[in-house]
Amino acid sequence: MTHELHELFDQYVDRLISGEETTACVVQDLDLSEVLGPLLETSTLVVQQLGAVEPSPEFRQAARTRIRSLFFSRLAHKESRPGFLFMWWQRRWVTAMATALVVCLAGMGLLAASVDSLPNGFFYPMKTATEQARLTLALSDLDRAQLQLEFAESRLDEMTTMAGRGDSDTVILLAGEVTQLVAQMCTGALFESLDIDSEISEVLAARSAAGSDLSLEEVLSMDRAGALQLLQYVIVSAPPELQPAIERLMEALSRDFDASISLIESSA
Amino acid sequence: MSLEQDLVTRAVQGDADAFAELYESNFDRVYRYLYVRLGNQAEAEDLTQEVFAKVLEAIGSFQWRNAPFASWLFRIAHNKMIDYIRREKRIERVDSDETVLSLDDPDPAEIAEHNLQLEKVRHNIGRLSPAQREVIWLRFGAGLSTTEVASALGKSTGTVKALQYNGIASLRKLMEQSS
């Protein structure tokens, strides 16, 4: 019933917003009229008051002139870029080189991963160096974002393993790296239009300001909340190919942080 | 492909007419949203221009993924406003400095009456919970549909409808108390 009430009210609000006369929005059902009538009265007032706000004609004109000049200056800038054929040739050459490098590095990375993939392991620096190289050589923003998510998931796996061994220092380090990777992905060109730089800075600043007075659980909770918050911001605008990986990481964040906290606590 | 989808697709491809149409059809409601949030005409004007400059800069990377264009636009407007508030280290104003109303008859007494009413509404919306407030601003201030609000806020339409209902119910109580 509550759901139906919300639904019905929403339909009336739609009608009010589209400019229908208040009198036309009379609730047919008398029982509902008692409940919805007063709310529609308030809604009408809000629509009328807020709807009456308009920009001044002078501002409208000045803003139009400004956006028009911005539009054409961007267009002029675009047309002054190097020719398409040159760009195509350049891209083809770079792609070939990058592919060769990625194949070599991925092989090394796989070796490192298969031999010893834990932070205190001998091959671990090689693994992280390979990851950095793969990020640098990523061919598109989407590829880079996918790699960042993949590496963040990998850090989570390592974090849980290290928590099982009772190594709380490394666990904190790895949790911070997860946040860093998520933040890097969110600052990428894919999500430029979201304009969430301040949210990202806030998450990173909170992490770097975290002092030694915080417990392991508090630090991990902060990392988890920060990473989840950023992923929630970007998931709606993420390309469809990226969304499953984001969802997977969000699930892993909730699961692995809890697991790590309880593992550390039980080993203490 | 819907009319809006076609328009956005053309604007993304750099069609000046399509961009102009999107601009004209959204300009007033972006201004209104920012004005009712900030309560200051000069700030709302500056930010409206910043929002559209950002839209122009970013529209090339806009991708249609079942999310309406308005959701994307108002996310930019919301983020610009939050950035501004943080940058200026100020809270959203409850009382506005002056008001620009679209009244046919510019009778000073009528304008004053409208200003008083608008301030009362703004003030009481400002006392709602953050989630209810955001839904009311976007739905009633910007005139977005429930689907657009849901997409802009990353919530389900059911949640938005519930927030809208409860928000208006709370607002009614607050308005009664303050009168």
Distance of CA A131 to the CA centre of its chain: 21
Out of B103, B140, B165, the one facing A9 most closely (by C-beta) is B165
Max Cα-Cα span within chain B: 52
Cα separation, B152 vs A211, in Å, equals: 35
A114 against A142, higher pLDDT? A142
Contact between residue A246 and residue A238 where contact means Cβ atoms under 8 Å apart:
yes
Per-residue pLDDT tens listing for chain B (179 residues): 678 888 888 888 878 888 888 999 999 999 999 999 988 899 999 999 999 999 988 888 787 776 788 999 999 999 999 888 888 766 555 555 544 445 455 667 776 777 788 888 999 999 999 999 999 999 999 999 999 999 888 889 999 999 999 999 999 999 998 77
Using the Cβ of B154 and the Cβ atoms of chain A, whether some distance falls under 8 Å is answered with yes
Out of A13, A55, A63, the one facing B139 most closely (by C-beta) is A13
What is the pTM for the complete model shown? 0.55
Cα separation, A44 vs B117, in Å, equals: 13
- Per-residue pLDDT, B74: 93
Contact between residue A16 and residue A47 where contact means Cβ atoms under 8 Å apart:
yes
Cα separation, A5 vs B161, in Å, equals: 9
Contact between residue A54 and residue B32 where contact means Cβ atoms under 8 Å apart:
yes
DSSP state of A190: G
- Per-residue pLDDT, A28: 62
Burial B67-81 (b: 16+ CB within 10 A, else e): bbbbbbbbbbbbbbb
DSSP state of B91: P
- Per-residue pLDDT, A84: 39
Using the Cβ of A198 and the Cβ atoms of chain B, whether some distance falls under 8 Å is answered with yes
Residues in A closer than 8 angstroms to B56, CB to CB, are 67, 70-71, 74
Cα separation, B6 vs B10, in Å, equals: 6
How large a percentage of chain A has pLDDT more than 90? 17
Q: In angstroms, what separates the C-alpha of A83 from chain B's closest C-alpha?
A: 18
pLDDT tens readout for residues A237-261: 888 889 999 999 999 988 888 888 8
Out of B31, B125, B161, the one facing A7 most closely (by C-beta) is B161
Calculate the CA dihedral of residues A118, A119, A122, A124 and round it to 10 degrees.
90
Using the Cβ of B45 and the Cβ atoms of chain A, whether some distance falls under 8 Å is answered with yes
Residues in A closer than 8 angstroms to B102, CB to CB, are 52-54
ipTM comes to 0.84
Cα separation, A227 vs A207, in Å, equals: 11
Cα separation, A76 vs A129, in Å, equals: 41
From the number of C-beta atoms within 10 Å of its C-beta (0-12, 13-18, 19+), residue A97 rates as exposed
- Cβ count near A52 (within 10 Å): 17
